[in-house]
Amino acid sequence: MSKDNLDPATPDDHTLAELVIDLDALAHNVRTLAGIASPAEVMAVVKADGYNHGVRQVVDTVLGAGATQIGVATIGEALEVRANGCTAPITAWMWYPGEELAAVFEHNITLGLPSLAHTRAFLEAARAADLFTPPTASLMFDSGLSRSGVGPQEWEQVVSLVAEAEQKCEVRITGLMTHLASADSPAAKATTDLQGERFQAAIDYCREQGLLVPTNHLANTPATVTRKDLHHEMVRTGVGIYGVDPMEQPLGIDLRPTMTLRARVLTTRVVPAGEGVSYGHLWRAEKDTRTAVVALGYADGLPRSISGRFSVTIDGVRYPQIGRVCMDQIVISLDDSDDPRAADHDVRPGDWAVIFGDGGTSLDEFSTIAGTIAYEVLTMPRGRVQCRYLPVSTPALPSPSTPAVAAAETAEDMREIGRALGSQVEAGTVIVLTGPLGAGKTTLTQGIAEGMGVKGRVQSPTFTIVRTHKPGASGTGLLHMDAYRLLGEDVAQSIEPGKHVDRDVVLDALESLDLDADLDEVVLVAEWGRGVVESLSDKVLDVEISRATEAGTDDEARRVSWRWL
């Protein structure tokens, strides 16, 4: 199944069936879940070829939308993601003792350790490799799923082995992970509570034994959206980023479908009354009936078991499938639709028939008809089905109730985020920029200035305290401030968390600089401004920049989050 196409299918492509993957919806879903999870990081799970969406395109999209780490099942999947150019942390958790690990170490893949045997194999391979940088692993703790993970009989021995190895700088343990059994079911809250308690106890035990375990994760998509108490340092989202509400009783989260399966109509005809259709003649025409053949069958992933139990949608009109699902094709009745528009609807060869997705049956409805779950249906299409991608659009500013997160792999990415913000803010807005030294606050401001179209080169305001940029075509100017130096070090350091400096104090400090600007007519960007400038406007956008990788590395990757106050 080809997964490289960005252009609409044409007759020259000979494409009879396709998956339309909406990357903009994918990015939206990641931003939504990242906002819910904040301040925890987001690991995006892209196993099984990105849930059949195309792993390369999915990885690029999720990292651009705010995920900071990637999760896969197998070592092979991890190496593929790395070979595609991904520099973010990658964790893989399915492997067997004795599997070759040289490539894992070479490409900096974090391995899950699900048993004592796996732990011993990992440590032996790490020591034999004699690496300059210790390889990384995540301890897989069995909190109650009883599938894969270190159980209570082996736990203390595993922790002892890795604690000793980490002390000798032979390995580095990034944290603990576990899998929840029933987080999607409100009725199973007691089970989830117990797993959460066991997981926290396991973390505490590791730290008692000298392990730092800095980044721990057990929250899948259901726990991400319903259990903030289980977020820890990172959540591990899977099906939610592909637009599926994960709960047994849907919560109505703002998740958008990412996949549409559709196929071409090949021919139409009239089946005379009394004649049977398709193999076995499971369906017979009670009257002369118009039918159409659609180019999709069980060789393309459509289950034969749903023969005669589903519909396809053409131009918004649903038509029932009749007879058996064949290897390459299905038949639909054009005269048995419940939609009154069908009588005047002219279905022709070449038309697209939607099996599920945009413009047709929902993924959840199709899953119910097929007697399975959305996870499985997403991974069904295969073989001759081609993939086409709808690109990501510029992210809009979030509403006051919806925070957002984006990833910036490079300085240019940081400027692009700034451009998106700058193109949408209005006069009177105060943007509070927070982040460590060298995080990219001035780089982000350069993008904001470009998005606003203001005049003048944007430089750090450290020495001038406030820089003024005159308006361009938009008519809105920009003030770029170092709020820390505006009030002086003594005042800035005395601000209590959650408290704000009095508005008059800030205004007096600005007036002392002889600024010729009305704050209602400009956008004020304040570096180090948290606790200082919020009182200056009722339109305050709080932006925080953090490193997506460990401090002290040369990696430029950053995580940018923003929310209205």
The catalytic site residues sit at 47, 279
Phi, psi of 54 (to 5 degrees): 100, 105
Neighbours of 178 (CB within 10 A): 25
The region that residue 120 occupies, defined by phi over 0 for left and psi between -120 and 50 for alpha, beta otherwise, is alpha
Burial class (CB within 10 angstroms; exposed 0-12, middle 13-18, buried 19+) of 443: buried
Q: Which residues of 33-67 are buried (b: 16+ CB within 10 A; e: fewer)?
A: bbbbbbebbbbbbbbbbbbbbbbbbbbbbbbbbbb
CA distance 392 to 258: 12
Does residue 147 have a known ligand-binding role? yes
Does residue 327 have a known ligand-binding role? yes
CA distances from 127 to 114, 132, 163, 210, 435 (A): 19, 11, 15, 20, 38
SS3 assignment, position 28: helix
Under a CB-based contact definition with an 8 Å cutoff, are residues 350 and 16 in contact?
A: no
Pairing of strands 477-482, 522-527: parallel
CA distances from 339 to 141, 350, 503 (A): 53, 21, 62
H or E element at residue 404: strand 404-408
Q: Count how many residues are written for the chain.
A: 565
SS3 assignment, position 443: helix
Q: How far from the centroid of its chain's Cα atoms is residue 311's Cα?
A: 31
Output the six-digit token pair for 147.
């599938």
DSSP 8-state symbol, 276 = E
Output the six-digit token pair for 97.
């003792």
Binding residues for substrate: 147, 327
